[in-house]
């Protein structure tokens, strides 16, 4: 690790501890050359696959797009930010567990719809209307009737 003050390459770790959320390790270091103390964070590098879009294009997976879509669907609904981020985290976990280098966008969309279906029916219909490209009111009615059929 290069010292931010003198650019020295030798340091010693004074203290290490796991971050509050458990996703990284915080290390206090001291430069051997100038005795300057600084903090570094060590984190596992996450691998996220390419997303194959409906038109065949490929682009890097962007968690912000998932959050934006869910947030739009949940606008003015009793859904917390924590629940939105939990959906995003769950989808990322599933994608990483699959281990594929590429994943179809339909997989991501279906996972979001499954989560919203359980969380908030109105947000689910909103998301489905954009994702499934509803053309008219009949599409909405069919989706809502499908919701009633899946209720216990």
Q: Are 102 and 58 in contact (CB under 8 A)?
A: yes
pLDDT of residue 43: 85
pLDDT of residue 149: 61
Higher pLDDT, 96 or 15: 15
**Which residue stretches of 74-136 are H helix?**
81-98, 105-119, 121-131
pLDDT of residue 141: 78
pLDDT, tens only, 82-98: 999 999 999 998 998 88
pLDDT, tens only, 38-69: 999 998 777 789 999 999 999 999 999 999 99
Q: Which helix (H) or strand (E) holds 31?
A: strand 24-31
The pTM score is 0.64
pLDDT, tens only, 94-140: 998 888 999 999 999 999 999 999 999 899 888 888 877 777 777 77
Average pLDDT, rounded, for the chain: 89
Range 14-21 average pLDDT:
88
Which pair of structure tokens corresponds to residue 11? 């340091």
Query: 11-18 and 37-43 as β-strands: parallel, antiparallel, unpaired?
Result: unpaired
Q: Looking at the predicted structure, is the pLDDT value of residue 144 above 90?
A: no
Which pair of structure tokens corresponds to residue 33? 């050359």
Q: Are 49 and 99 in contact (CB under 8 A)?
A: no
- 35-59 in b/e form (b: 16+ CB < 10 A) is eeeeeeeeeeeeeebebbeeeeeee
């Amino acid at each position: 690790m290069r010292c931010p003050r003198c650019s020295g390459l030798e340091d010693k770790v004074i203290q290490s501890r796991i971050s509050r959320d458990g996703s990284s390790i915080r290390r206090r270091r001291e430069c051997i050359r100038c005795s300057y103390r600084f903090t570094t964070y060590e984190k596992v590098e996450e691998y996220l696959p390419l997303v194959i879009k409906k038109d065949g294009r490929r682009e890097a997976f962007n968690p912000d797009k998932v959050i934006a879509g869910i947030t739009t669907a949940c606008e003015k609904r009793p859904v917390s930010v924590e629940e939105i981020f939990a959906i995003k985290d769950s989808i990322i976990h599933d994608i990483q567990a699959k281990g594929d280098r590429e994943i179809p966008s339909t997989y991501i969309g279906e996972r979001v719809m499954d989560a919203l279906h359980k969380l908030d029916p109105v947000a689910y219909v909103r998301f489905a209307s954009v994702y499934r490209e509803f053309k008219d009111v009949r599409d909405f009615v069919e989706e809502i009737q499908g919701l009633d059929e899946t209720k216990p």
